[in-house]
Amino acid sequence: MNNQTRSDIQLIPLKEKETETFITNIQVAFRKAVIEEFGDDGTEVIPREEVIAAFQENGAESYNIVYRSQVVGGAILVINQETNYNEPSLLFINVDCHSIGLGYAAWQAIEKLHPETKVWKTCTPYFEKRNIHFYVNKCGFHIVEFFNPSHPEANISGEEKSENIPPEINYFFRFEKNMQKDI
């Protein structure tokens, strides 16, 4: 992707009337990887309630990712103005827009939007090879922790995980990207 194409990416604040479309698009995007890895058992991969909770999180900013006047994805960023340890709580590119550099261009726009960030942090399931490649190889994140039954993620109880997603995908990598050399 050339520099001209990267400049065509915009982060447009999500309007309330666009919420349902955002939720549908993220559910489709997240479901694709689960179906490819485990098949389609009808399990809701990212429940609507989880997306709504992300919208309402303290410090949340919601955006449509727009390329050439077309919505190609979305992001919910959680910005902590006290610590500047921020996270892309939810970030996705629509499935029909994968593999053309839009995710990386969107990530660059996110970094540019929040230059005050000291550390970006996020998690992704172990089987999400595209996400792992994206965060580590494209965006410069480092894997800093592996959550699994012997080392569970502290913010999500086992009960909550088993209700929302199949137990075989309760394995996550935590990533961080230090934005300042002195950290």
- Judge whether 119 and 176 are in contact, CB under 8 Å: yes
For 179, the token pair is 């934005």
pTM (predicted TM-score) = 0.86
Calpha distance 114→83 (Å, rounded): 13
pLDDT at residue 129 above 50?
A: yes
pLDDT digits (tens, 9 = 90+) for 72-97: 999 999 999 999 999 999 999 999 99
pLDDT at residue 170 above 90?
A: no
* Mean local confidence (pLDDT), 6-15: 89
Query: Using the 8-state DSSP alphabet, how is residue 135 labeled?
Result: I
Give the max Cα distance, the chain: 47
Ordered alpha helix ranges (H), the chain: 3-7, 19-38, 48-56, 102-113, 129-132, 158-164
pLDDT at residue 2 above 50?
A: no
pLDDT at residue 4 above 50?
A: no
Calpha distance 171→67 (Å, rounded): 33
Structural domain boundaries in the chain: 3-178
Q: Quick one: pLDDT at residue 113? A: 97
pLDDT digits (tens, 9 = 90+) for 23-34: 999 999 998 888
Instruction: State which fold the 3-178 domain adopts.
Output: Aminopeptidase (3.40.630)
Q: Give residues with Cβ within 8 angstroms of 160, minimum separation 6.
A: none
